[in-house]
Chain A
Amino acid sequence: MSFVEEILRYPEEQILEQMAATTANQVEQALATDHLRIRDLITLLSPTALDYLEPMAQKAHHITQQRVGNTIQLFTPMYLSNECSNGCKYCGFNANNNIPRTTLTLDEIEQEAQIIHDYGFRSILLLTGEHKKMADNSYLIAAIQKIKPLFSSISIEVYPMDTDGYKQMVAAGVDGLTVYQETYNRELYKEMHPFGKKRNYTYRLEAPDRAGEAGIRRIGVGALLGLGNFATEAFYTGLHAHYIARQYWRSHVSISFPRICPADGGFAPINPVNDKQLVQMICAMRLLIPDAALFMSTRENAELRNSLMPLGITHMSAGSCTAPGGHAHKGESTEQFTIDDDRTPEQISEVIRAQGFEAVWKDWDSAFLNNLAV
């Protein structure tokens, strides 16, 4: 049993039909329950529920405050390589894009990591494209070993691996994984990924299952918002997170809300997602899984990020740079997408404070996984 079977129980046409038929009364009922059922998730993601954003937001805020408190955890991404053999149409690292390609050496990784550490970050997310020759498991493991002394938490957002690969990552010190399905719609997925290993929809869809089996502590899912139909992508994202939380109950599930940004190659969103829909999705995810970690990246602008903070967001990236080596050498390499919030980590933590939250830089300890620690 994997999520591949689970998702088949919820055909897209049926979800859309149920959403279209949703009544105000159903929304009110869903808002009144303590534990959402999957049927309630459909209700809260329906167009009808858009009229209930305020009560949804109030409830999401209340739950988040109770479960997580008045804190926002900060992390920053570090791009190790922009080499890629995939052809994802929306991505700046697309193999067809004629951009300068870089894979950081271990020394460069250390230099970059030191700068990030000096900003105050103890939580780091490592990213690569998918290129077996330039950045494979052993490259990642070497990178992780190199930077481990500087960070209490190391997560990865790279190509999907098999279960053994994920086990190797855990052994190396990885505690978190993010793997976006991009779109849960099989047809659209094929269209968006014309070539490369990433073309295999099922292999990617099952990556969080394999990570769960391998015992990765934090597993993050998400759809690239702007590709497929908003409401069903949001629904399948919630369904996926809900499934992971139950199936791999020792792992903590997280959900991200990446909205398509302009990248080199000029991809425009197919189904643009507006701010109201984004808020609807964030609140629905919080109501579905009260303890899920909800991530907001610097893809969104500063003003929106500030407003989203009280709605249920628990983790924010800051000081981001989506080009490999971009912290040490600003502006020299091509970015995966454009950052819309370019405030420094210090500025962001100041804003978090002004919004009535404490910025948390460390909330994990490498000693949990390191059996040589003591």
Chain B
Amino acid sequence: MDELIIAGRSFRSRLMVGTGKFASNAQMAATIAASGGEIVTVALRRVNVGDQQDDLLNHIDRNKYLLLPNTSGARNAEEAIRLARLARAAGCEPWIKLEVTPDPYYLLPDPIETLKAAEILVKEGFIVLPYINADPVLAKHLQEVGVATVMPLGAPIGSNKGLKTRDSIAIIIEQAIVPVVVDAGLGAPSHAAEAMELGADAVMINTAMAVAGNPVMMAAAFGKAVEAGRQAYLAGLGKEQKQAVASSPLTGFLRDE
């Protein structure tokens, strides 16, 4: 069985799902169910983690899904660490999707602060899944401090642009010692399939589902695309040729001397 294993825990699905931007919490729940995903991220700033009555949290069945809180909104390491500790203190499992984005516009991750926060959180016993730019050297540094995955972006978050960082992600995958999850910018199931064919261990989708005309149907499409891409990767893709290979070679007349 081809399972995704993160920090010793195994998952059948290789699709992680975000909970932002949905038109209703009920729609969010139906979308997550249709995706087949088992890891669901939630922005800590959106919810009251300790509150049994929190409407968003009550739409996520914690027996079925791993609730992966994220630190979105944190501007530096200190703020992200504080949020992570609060989530754990409120009873969340020690898993944290680390997001440090000092620029509130493109929400690009800060490599320096992310590394700082990751190091401290790992030491405190957190299972850390950092959101990063597609920077292979940063990915190495993070792996050295003990993160559970690296989550490079395909394109700026919410942009739906697809795998714009393809070449760098390929290097990260080639060199990774932890699962590589392509995190942001994937706007269509074909983008997700492309990332999986490239060898990503999983992908994370939010905007493309939440703002689709039919989020539930789109989630199912992403689920299939992730499976198809994974299967293609395992099957071994034929090599892409720069030129057509002629069936009647032009140099066939040459003989070995």
A residues bordering B, Cβ < 8 Å? 65-71, 152, 217, 245, 249-252, 289-291, 353, 356-358, 360, 362-365, 367-371, 373-374
CB closest chain-A residue, reference B187: A66
Residues 11-31 of B at the A interface (beta carbon under 8 Å): 20-25
Residue pair B21, A71 in contact (C-beta under 8 Å): yes
> Which one of A250, A358, A362, A368 contacts B48 once the chains associate, using CB atoms below 8 Å?
A362
Q: Are B23 and A368 in contact (CB under 8 A)?
A: no
Whether B111 is near chain A, meaning CB under 8 Å from some CB there, is no
> Chain B: which residue is nearest A122 at the CB level?
B48
Contact check, A250 vs B210: say whether CB atoms are below 8 A apart.
Answer: no
The 3 closest A-B pairs by CB, nearest first: A69-B21, A70-B23, A252-B104
Assembled-state Cα–Cα distance A65/B45 (Å): 20
- Residue from A68, A249, A373 in contact with B82 in the complex, judged by beta carbons closer than 8 Å: A373
Q: Are B23 and A357 in contact (CB under 8 A)?
A: yes
The answer to the question of B146 belonging to the interface, with a C-beta cut-off of 8 Å to chain A, is no
Chain A residues, Cβ within 8 Å of B48: 362
Q: Mark B167-191, 1 if CB is under 8 A from A, else 0.
A: 0000000000000000000000000
Sample 20 A-B pairs with CB under 8 A, ordered by A number. A66-B207, A69-B22, A71-B20, A71-B22, A152-B45, A245-B105, A249-B105, A250-B103, A289-B105, A291-B104, A358-B23, A363-B46, A365-B73, A367-B83, A368-B73, A369-B79, A371-B78, A371-B82, A373-B86, A374-B89
* A residues less than 8 Å from B102 (CB atoms): 249-250
Determine if B44 is an interface residue (Cβ-Cβ < 8 Å).
Answer: yes
Residue of A nearest to B85 (CB): A374
How big is chain B's contact interface, by range? 20 to 34
Residues of B within 8 A of A291 (CB): 104-106
* Binary A-proximity of B75-90 (CB < 8 A = 1, otherwise 0): 1001100110110010
CB distance from B43 to the nearest CB of A (A): 8
What chain B residues lie within 8 Å of A152 (beta carbons)?
45
In the complex the two chains form, what is the Cα distance from A68 to B23 in whole Å?
Answer: 11
| Neighbour of B86 across the interface among A65, A249, A353, A374, CB < 8 A | A374
Bound-state Cα–Cα, A298 to B48, Å: 27
Within the complex, the shortest CB–CB distance from A366 to chain B, in Å, comes to: 10
B40 interface residue per 8 A CB criterion: no
Interface residues of B in 34-78 (CB under 8 A from A): 43-48, 73-75, 78
Q: Cβ of A67: which chain B residues have Cβ within 8 Å of it?
A: 158
Cβ contact within 8 Å between A70 and B82? no
Complex formed: what's the CA distance from A22 to B85 in Å?
A: 55
- Shortest CB distance A187–B (Å): 34
> In the docked arrangement, what's the CA distance between A36 and B85, Å?
41
Given A250-B75, A362-B45, A368-B82: A70 touches B22 (CB 8 Å cut-off): yes
- Inside 8 A of B85's CB, which chain A residues have their CB? 374
Q: Please determine whether A367 and B82 come into contact, CB atoms closer than 8 angstroms.
A: yes
- Distance of A368 Cα from B72 Cα, bound (Å): 10
- A111–B22 alpha-carbon span in the complex (Å): 34
User: Are B45 and A364 closer than 8 Å at their CB atoms?
Assistant: yes
Complex CA gap A202/B208 in Å reads 44
Contact A70 B73, CB 8 Å, known A367-B83, A373-B86: no
Given B23, B44, B207, which contacts A365 in the complex, CB threshold below 8 Å?
A: B44
A356 — which chain B residues lie within 8 A by C-beta?
23
A325 to B43 CA separation, bound complex (whole angstroms): 34
The CB with the most chain B CB atoms within 10 A, among A65, A68, A353, A367, is that of A367
Closest B residue to A175 by CB, please name it: B73
Interface contact A368-B83, CB-CB below 8 Å: yes
Q: Is B231 an interface residue (CB 8 A)?
A: no
Residues from chain B with Cβ under 8 Å of A353 in the complex: 24
Cα distance, A71 to B18, chains bound together (Å): 14
The answer for the CA separation of A353 and B26 in the assembled complex, in Å, is: 11
A69 lies within 8 A of B210 (CB)? yes
The closest CB in chain B to the CB of A62 belongs to B211
A374 touches which one: B43, B73, B82, B158 (CB < 8 A)? B82
- Tell which of B22, B45, B86, B158 touches A363, judged by Cβ atoms closer than 8 Å: B45
B72 vs chain A, min Cβ distance (A)? 10
State in angstroms the CA–CA spacing of A360 and B79 once bound together: 22
The answer to whether B160 has its CB under 8 Å from any CB of chain A is yes
Given the complex of chains A and B, what is the CA–CA distance between A243 and B83 in angstroms? 30
Whose C-beta in chain A lies nearest to the C-beta of B107?
A: A291
Contact A249 B103 (CB under 8 A): yes
Please, how many angstroms separate the alpha-carbon atoms of A353 and B22 in the complex? 11
Contact in complex: B211, A358 (CB < 8 Å): no
When C-beta atoms are compared, the residue in chain A nearest to B157 turns out to be: A67
**A360 contact set on B, CB distance < 8 A:** 46
Decide: A70 and B211 in contact? CB cutoff 8 A: yes
Q: Is the CB of B207 within 8 A of A69?
A: yes
Which residues on the A side are within 8 Å of B211 (C-beta)? 65-66, 69-70
From B22, B74, B160, contact of A66 by CB (8 A): B160
Which residues of chain B have C-beta atoms less than 8 A from A245's C-beta?
Answer: 105
A175 to B: closest C-beta gap in Å: 10
**B108 CB to nearest chain A CB (Å):** 11
Closest B residue to A364 by beta carbon equals B45
Decide: A250 and B21 in contact? CB cutoff 8 A.
no
Chain A proximity mask over B181-209: 1 for CB below 8 Å, otherwise 0: 00000000000000000000000000100
Residues of A within 8 A of B79 (CB): 367-369
Report which of B47, B82, B159, B210 forms a contact with A362, defined as CB distance below 8 A: B47
A65's nearest neighbour on chain B, judged by CB, is: B211
CA distance A357 to B210 in the complex (A): 11
B83 and A358 contacting across the interface, CB-CB below 8 Å: no
Tell me how far the C-beta of A21 lies from the nearest C-beta in chain B, rounded to whole angstroms: 32
* Cα of A281 to Cα of B69 in the assembled complex, Å: 37
With A252-B104, A362-B48, A367-B79 known, 7 other A-B pairs at CB within 8 A are A68-B21, A69-B20, A70-B22, A70-B23, A249-B105, A250-B104, A367-B86
**Are A251 and B104 interface neighbours, CB within 8 A?**
yes
